[in-house]
Homo-oligomer: A and B are copies of this chain.
Amino acid sequence: MATKRIFGEISGVSEGFLFSSYVELNQSKVHIQTQAGISGSQSEGADSIVVSGGYEDDQDFGDEIIYTGHGGRKDGKQISDQTLTRGNLALAKNEIDNLPVRVIRGAHKGNLFAPEVGYRYDGLYRVESHWIELGKSGFNVYRFKLVKQNSSLPPISVKAAQIDIEQKHGSNNPRRVSSTVQRVIRDSKLGRQLKKLYDYKCQVCELQINTEAGFYAEAAHIKPVGAPHNGPDLLENLLCLCPNHHLMFDKGVFCLDDRFNLIGVDGRLYLNPKHDVSKEFLNYHRSMFGKL
């Protein structure tokens, strides 16, 4: 019988807990795999991963990890492109369903955040985004940006934050059973300038959301801001979108070609002549989702 997949904290295992081996990780239910770095299924999501330096493209910044997906390797070398299947698809499922993933760091050289020996449970991360990238090997790899969940829960509730896939009922105290995902929406004078240019209408569907305090729209970055993409906050890197098309653009449901036709869904981007959208950044966005 397969071990039940538990999302969230494992009762009795607090952050910083050390394990000597995969066998111990398995027995404690922290990582129910005996070899693979990603524990998860395509339909449920990934419950835990081990960061152990197996992939040359991993980058560890502590509270942020750029994690490389699995597949396409033989004898420790990348020999073909990775695909969005198995563990990779499981991690992408976490992103869509706001599921937390347990991160375990294994000892390995060159990583400041890894333990000196064994495996350390390092808490819950959310999968903020994923994209395709040309790895050092010359083959396409999937990359996942993991961000540590800043729990504002009092210490006593941390154990109770466990999200059990078998859990049947809700609670009158949502803080205890919810995983919380924070979607960061940046705004600025530039964003307002852009929105005014389009009269707060979505550049894809022309929806204009009218609230009692005025119109609402979102300024979406084409090349994402923040590490590792570090797109700039410039008008040419921004689109004025409704929340739906912002989400769909960020998740790669659609991309844009150089003539501003939508790829993935029917349609065409509305453009104000004063708005010079960068084709370089559109190309970057397409490459993130393999739509070159």
Please give the residue numbers on chain A whose beta carbons come within 8 Å of chain B beta carbons, in ascending order.
Answer: 84, 89, 92-93, 95-99, 163-165, 167, 170-175, 177-192, 207, 209-216, 221, 225, 231-235, 242-244, 246-248, 251-253, 289
Contacts and interface: CB of A to CB of B under 8 A. Distances in A.
A187 B98 contact: yes
Query: Interface residues of A: mostly helix, strand, loop or mixed?
Result: mixed
A133 to B, nearest CB: 16
Given A172-B234, A209-B244, A214-B96, A184 B182 contact: yes
Contact of A183 (B183, B215, B231, B233): B183
B232 A192 contact: no
Copies per assembly = 2
A84 B178 contact: no
A252 B210 CA distance: 10
Contact of A163 (B99, B167, B170, B189): B189
B170 A234 contact: yes
Contacts of A183: 182-183, 185
Given A96-B214, A163-B189, A174-B188, 17 more contacts: A84-B213, A89-B213, A95-B213, A97-B192, A98-B187, A170-B232, A170-B233, A170-B235, A171-B234, A181-B186, A182-B184, A183-B185, A207-B244, A210-B253, A211-B251, A211-B253, A243-B247
Given A171-B232, A174-B225, A84 B212 contact: yes
A87 B252 CA distance: 40
A181 B186 CA distance: 6
